[in-house]
Amino acid sequence: MVYPIVLYGNPILREILEEIPLNSDVLNIVNKLQKTLDHSAGVGLAANQININSQIFIISINEKDYNFNQVFINPNIILKSKETNIIEEGCLSLPNITEEIERSEAILIEFYDENWNYHKKNYSKLEARIIQHEYDHLKGILFLDHLSSEKQIKLLTPLQNIAQRKIEVNYPII
């Protein structure tokens, strides 16, 4: 089943999500996230984006020359590089809005996977960017929060349209 994506304006997107108790059964959440992501145009999805208050997100990129699929449970970014890059980002919870966002080029993160195996890994470039974006969701942060107040003001009307559901998307929304 494809779950509806929570849109901007829903308070769960601004909550700091709850840690998942060690060795909990998370496969149901992982399956919900994966099925929903498979039917959207996204590359990552956090639990609060399908109205679940749990610290978990997935990344799923399956292209001809590049595959990256990972579940992140109770993640913690330990280090961020001083080197940054600026790349345009979008978000399934903020349809039709993209902005250039500055993020660290590389990170060191610790997390558990869906089998409760512990990982401590370095990621860089695109993977680091997507992880930082999804990790922000777990902390109640949207990519808009990285913009200047001037840019945020310019987005007020599109954001109001999203909050009032005056938009069209090709995936279920709430």
- Residue 101: name the closest of 90, 86, 81 by CA: 86
pLDDT for 2 equals 86
Q: List the one residue out of 3, 1, 6 whose CA is nearest residue 91.
A: 6
Kindly list the catalytic residues. 134
Q: Look up the CATH number of domain 11-163.
A: 3.90.45.10
Return per-residue pLDDT of the chain as tens, 174 residues. 889 999 999 999 999 999 999 999 999 999 999 999 999 989 999 999 999 999 999 999 988 888 999 999 999 999 999 999 999 999 999 999 999 999 999 999 999 999 999 999 999 999 999 999 999 999 999 999 999 999 999 999 999 999 998 988 888 888
* Three-state secondary-structure class, residue 98: coil
Amino acid at 85: N
Domain range annotation of the chain:
11-163
